[in-house]
Structure 1
Amino acid sequence: MEQGGNDIAKKMGIVALLLFGVYVLCMYWYIFHGGDGTIPQALKGTVADPAMFMSERELYLSGEYSKIRNFLFFVATPFEWLVYLVILLMGLSRYFEKVSTAQTKWKLVQNAAYLFLLSIVLYVVLYPIEYYRFYLSKSYGISTQGFSSWMRDGVIDFWVNFGMTFLIVSVLYWLIRKSTKRWWLFAWLLTIPFTIFVMFIQPVVIDPLYNDFYPLKNKELETKILTLAEQAQIPAEHVYEVNMAEKTNALNAYVTGVGSNSRIVLWDTTLNRLSDNEILFIMAHEMGHYVEKHIYFGIAGYLLLTLIGLWLTSKCMKWLITRYGHILKIIKISDIHSLPLFLLITSILLFASSPLSNYISRYQETRADQYAISLMGDQASAVTAFQKLTKSGLSEVNPQLLVKWFRYTHPPMLERIYKVAEKEGQKKEAPIKEEQKK
């Protein structure tokens, strides 16, 4: 029986590899040959046309860089699924549990040992992809981070994720052992306070592990931002900046945290390369999210998707273990070595739901843009801010449909620039190209 299960596992593994290979070829054709994201004729020569504010070299690098990143995204996610499947089919997960349980009788220590072994394997197997992403970003001038600094962030990531995963998995499998039928509901109920807690501590505990945060040095700009926040009836006392220039050339600003730990944060790259009015527009955009309560809608949407996802995961795990448990080397769902199956199913569900969640996010971003224009009344600064954001990150302004569905939480820059320019009836023809275009 054991030998028969191993033979089927080998066949299943081979079929999975073949399907993955076919998928990779299909995605390669789609990304590199299935459409070039050309600018609609009606938008050529407008402020939204990247040819009007990017040099020929920047346009070339943007197209090349975007295609590689998009291909990597669509390949890396299913590759991770394949890794989970292989770990199960080879019996590695069950072996890790045997090793961990042989060392101690303490359940929490067993969980920690099992998770450490699994995490190390995943880190090693997925490391080449993560390193290539780093190398790619460096090659195209986006990242300024040294290898040692990147590795340091990777090690921090490993231990932060390990700690949070250990807490979640220990509670999760305790619930499964207590109630094999309703564990998904109890897990979801605990997700609510846990999500809020993580959002509360993120700005003051987790984020400072990676970068230094300090009050905005430019007090004149801080006064302008706080005045803008007062106009929007947003309680804010401080604006923070973060030292990102040593890691990236990209620009960003955001609002993070909840309650008393909420923060307005500006990257120093943004402060160094945007004008005050452009920064104020970005801040007004972030304030739009606050005013329209997008963070709370986001939490509600996340919790709803989590509820559906956990319920579907429980049904899928039960069915798969009943039907293919002998092949996947899983005896019962309450054994921690079923974790790769849990991760596999949840990852697939998360990927499948991303077009919907991204669509909602894009709608909210559009609303925030509209709010910022209404608050600032300065569409010219909005246009130039978006143009500089595009240039700094070599962003793809008009992605292919699947790329937009699965990757874009913000509207493509082509849409954002044209809409904010159109909002107040700004002349759509672009000004003379920048000096670098000459």
Structure 2
Amino acid sequence: MKKIIGWSLLIYLVYVLAMFWYLFYGADTSIPSALKGTAADPATFLNAKELMLSEEYSKIRNLLFFVNLPYDWLLYFFILVLGFSMKFSTWSKAISKLSLVQTAIYLFYLSLLVEALSYPLKWISYTLSKNYQITTQAFSGWMKDLVIGFWVDYAIMFLIVSVLFMLIRKSGKRWWFYAWLCSVPFSLFLMFFQPVVIDPLYNDFYPLKDKELETKILALASKAEIPAEHVYEVNMSEKTNALNAYVTGIGSNSRIVLWDTTLERLNDEEILFIMAHEMGHYVMKHIYVGIAGYLLMTLIGLFIIHKLLTYIVNRWGRLFKIDKISDLSMLPLFLLLVSVLSFTASPVENAVSRHQERAADTYAMELTHEQDAAIRTFQELTKAGLSQVNPPYLVKLLRYGHPTMLERITYLETYDQEEQK
């Protein structure tokens, strides 16, 4: 046991040092010489201090991402091999004979432990963002969101875990397929109700206040032949200085959301370009394509997890203190495999997302023909979020669901030329 824990920690430490070297010294984030002096060159729209801060902040934030991911894996691994999961299961069974009550108690113990051990990295991330003036949220507000997030995640996980273990116990080797069948309506249910039930727990949403801007957006929506009654703004200024807009929900609950920071920092032409971009997602049905892709990946992932769980429990069940996969104590191993497989699939998911974002940029240009406003928009997004214009390759591969700012601005600058070819 000591050797296993020791080697795990050593491998993690070597990995962290390797990522530190790569992000701070090994990766080339400079602007290609051919693009220097163009609108994509951050030196043309950021001052010297902003350039320095954007590089510093991005490097540290990326390091935290790469440190946090395997840290979560280590947590689940140690919870298993040190016997915490088995103890939680034993305690829950001693309190009640009802399986639902046992699941609720076990999951509370597990969630509380994981949250406590994950808290330091979350606090470091919050403090970093606060120090670089990206986050404006007070510590009390941040803690409130953390507590809300804990209970929301707990409630969702309770439903998932209860159904999952019921299927494992009753369906034998086909549990993974039935679990996937259950995930289809559940995923659609969450996506439908998230904008009106979950999101308002964290922020206040309301119809766009600027009626003159609303008229312009409605005219743009009419031009795009899509409904626009679902345009909302959200009060993010009390939490962040960053800018954003997004599409969320499905069916009658689908909506386009603008952060109030975006409304404050950008002019009407720039906001209309963002609106046209989000309308592009709507018109091209990217949300539904994303749902279909997610469900396909879930089906494949559950099948792989089924095979891996059977193999691991049969071969290393004693090490992980798991007798059979129907035991509640198996849950950390299941979550570990889900996390690893999600990470493995992230390059493909990000590549698809970047393709959709490029298509939405193109749609926005075709709808607005505001090339200068589009370029200024991405420059302002870079400045507000202290983003790296040209991030390291691994960061782009594993973190970026959008093209880099270098790619987006360069594309917009050459858009007219590409249209003439």
Q: Deviations along 1:280-311, whole A, 9 cap, x unmatched?
A: 00000001111111111101111111111111
Does 2:214 align with 1:217?
no
Does 2:41 align with 1:52?
no
Deviation at 1:239, TM superposition (A): 1.9
User: Any unmatched runs of 5+ in structure 1?
Assistant: 1-8, 427-438
What is aligned with 2:191? 199
What is aligned with 1:297? 289
Equivalent residue for 2:323, pick from 320, 331, 338: 331
What is aligned with 1:20? 12
Tell me the secondary structure at the aligned position of residue 172 of structure 2.
coil
What is aligned with 2:174? 182
Tell me the secondary structure at the aligned position of residue 240 of structure 1.
strand
Q: Deviations along 1:245-290, whole A, 9 cap, x unmatched?
A: 0000000111211111111211100000100000000000001111
What is aligned with 2:310? 318
Aligned residue runs from structure 1 range 7-406, under 5 A = 9-406=1-398
**TM-score between the two structures when normalised by the length of structure 1:** 0.94
Q: Which amino acid aligns with 1:380?
A: D
Tell me the secondary structure at the aligned position of residue 179 of structure 1.
helix
Distance 1:237 1:303 in 2: 29
Distance 1:268 1:143 in 2: 14
Conservation of the 8 A alpha-carbon contact between 1:245 and 1:269: yes
What is aligned with 1:435? none
Deviation beyond 6 Å, 4+ runs, structure 1: none
Distance 2:229 2:399 in 1: 34
Distance 2:245 2:212 in 1: 18
Distance 1:168 1:238 in 2: 30
Conservation of the 8 A alpha-carbon contact between 1:222 and 1:238: no
Distance 2:98 2:219 in 1: 56
Q: Which amino acid aligns with 2:215?
A: T
Distance 1:203 1:23 in 2: 38
Deviation at 1:25, TM superposition (A): 1.3
Distance 2:310 2:63 in 1: 33
Distance 1:404 1:31 in 2: 12
Q: Deviations along 1:323-376, whole A, 9 cap, x unmatched?
A: 000010000000111000000111001011101100110010000000000010
Equivalent residue for 1:410, pick from 402, 407, 411: 402
Conservation of the 8 A alpha-carbon contact between 1:382 and 1:420: yes
Q: Deviations along 1:205-230, whole A, 9 cap, x unmatched?
A: 00000001111110111111121111
Conservation of the 8 A alpha-carbon contact between 2:317 and 2:323: yes
Deviation at 1:17, TM superposition (A): 1.1
Deviation at 1:180, TM superposition (A): 2.5
Q: Which amino acid aligns with 2:102?
A: Q
Q: Which amino acid aligns with 1:231?
A: K
Deviation at 1:16, TM superposition (A): 1.1
Conservation of the 8 A alpha-carbon contact between 2:230 and 2:254: no
User: Any unmatched runs of 5+ in structure 2?
Assistant: none
May I ask how many residue pairs the two structures share in their alignment? Answer: 418
**TM-score between the two structures when normalised by the length of structure 2:** 0.98
Distance 1:418 1:408 in 2: 17
Tell me the secondary structure at the aligned position of residue 322 of structure 2.
coil
Tell me the secondary structure at the aligned position of residue 247 of structure 1.
coil
Conservation of the 8 A alpha-carbon contact between 2:180 and 2:302: yes
Q: Which amino acid aligns with 1:90?
A: L
Tell me the secondary structure at the aligned position of residue 424 of structure 1.
helix
Deviation at 1:425, TM superposition (A): 4.2
Q: Which amino acid aligns with 1:313?
A: I
Distance 1:353 1:10 in 2: 32
Q: Deviations along 1:396-437, whole A, 9 cap, x unmatched?
A: 1101111100000000000001101211249xxxxxxxxxxx
Deviation at 1:11, TM superposition (A): 2.1
Q: Deviations along 1:42-92, whole A, 9 cap, x unmatched?
A: 100000100000011000000010110111101110011001000000010
Distance 1:10 1:177 in 2: 33
| Range that drifts further, 231-240 or 74-83 | 231-240
Distance 1:14 1:179 in 2: 38
Aligned-residue Cα RMSD (Å) equals: 0.9
- Identical amino acids, percent of aligned pairs: 61
